[in-house]
Amino acid sequence: MRTQVGIVGAGPAGLLLAHLLHRAGIESVILEAKSRQHVEERIRAGLLEQGTVDILTETGLGDRLHREGLPHEGIELRFDGQGHRIDLHGLTGRRVMIYGQQEVVKDLIAARLAQGRPLLFEVEEVALHDLDSDCPRITFRHGGAETMLHCDVIAGCDGFHGICREAIPAGVLKIYERAYPFAWLGILAAAPPASHELIYARHERGFALATMRSNTLARHYIQCRPEEDVAAWSDDRIWAELHARMADRDGHSPIKEGPILQKGVTAMRSFVVEPMRHGRLFLAGDAAHIVPPTGAKGMNLAVADIIVLARALEAFYRGRGMALLDAYSATALRRVWKAQRFSWWMTSLLHRFDGADPFEHKVQLAELDYVCSSAAASLTLAENYVGLPLETG
């Protein structure tokens, strides 16, 4: 087989890259280890920055997004039993949208199949070769047949546990990482949302987040230990903890209960590799970086990577040379590190750190008070939350 761009991974990053390349007349083949059903049913993040909504809309993927998505113009920070609204739209003129990552994936897969372009699921034994050459190769097994795919470029969009980053020789990448001393216990419940906007709560018992997937599906999280046993959390215990952490000074909680459909523990970590490129292999999304979910940046960062990479590839195939491809890593990393900073800051602001002394506790509350009472501080939070302007090199 021969193509221009070989894409490993059919998550949002790989699928969006293929979509943008198709619109630019550039051929690609997508290889995915999992089944289509698995990929479409993976429950992931559900908050899209304004820029992500804009790119999906501009490229013909916005119909269902705007029909079913929930636009939000603000968020609430809750501490000391009081809620404080941050007016995202009033401060920045921009919004965010609640629309599940799996729904974005479904839309992208449908568009790819409608284009009749190669999208191979359940691919096995994927390996990368000749990354330092002008014609890298991908070998794989699909449908029982061994295949070699010759490419000009390979895009590694296969997530944190994928094979692409591991294909880069030892010592080439510099790794930056931090593991946080807590995790999130998350639930999906058949219940109305607690509010029409997200509520981020800092409580002495630990952080809590009330969000949603739709007007009838609530998505809630509570801070827990990284080694937490989900089986130890009955439905009653989960609801009691959410009510306690979300309650106001009069003991009233906005949480609405319903049947819990899913439970799971999400680890909290920060991870970045530099550079995001080796030879003709370009890493994007979770293959290159992970952020704690507090700032809602994971999928949005992947989309930002892909916009930069797609524009660089279009310039390359239009005969404008390698300059933008050579600048890809540096350009993408500027945004990645700003998102890491914001995600680290939100995480540090809202979570309980075991062993923190009373001074640190008071400073944390003072920081929250400052953010909610200062127009400048509120604007800083808002412009990062809705998404910083894209840097394209």
Establish whether 263 is a catalytic residue.
no
* Cβ-based neighbours of 227, under 8 Å, separated by 6 or more: none
Q: Which of 200, 289, 328, 351 is catalytic?
A: 200
Q: Is 221 a catalytic residue?
A: no
DSSP string, 334-369: HHHHHHHHHHHHHHHHHS--TT--HHHHHHHHHHHH
Give the distance from CA 225 to its chain's centroid: 22
Query: CA 159, 160, 166, 172 torsion: positive or negative?
Result: positive
Q: Active-site residue 328, yes or no? A: no
Active-site pick, 136, 193, 292, 293: 293
**Choice among 72, 203, 278, 351 that is catalytic:** 72
Query: Is 72 annotated as catalytic?
Result: yes
Catalytic residue among 220, 289, 297, 351: 297
d(CA 354, CA 40): 37
CA 186, CA 378: separation in Å to the nearest integer? 27
CA dist 10 → 115, 118, 246 (Å): 15, 11, 37
Give every strand in the sheet of 277-278, ordered side by side.
Answer: 119-120, 28-31, 5-8, 153-156, 281-283, 277-278
136 is catalytic: no
Phi, psi of 126 (to 5 degrees): -75, 135
* Beta partners for residue 142, in sequence order: 145
The one catalytic residue in 180, 221, 328, 385 is: 385
Active site members: 72, 200, 293, 297, 385
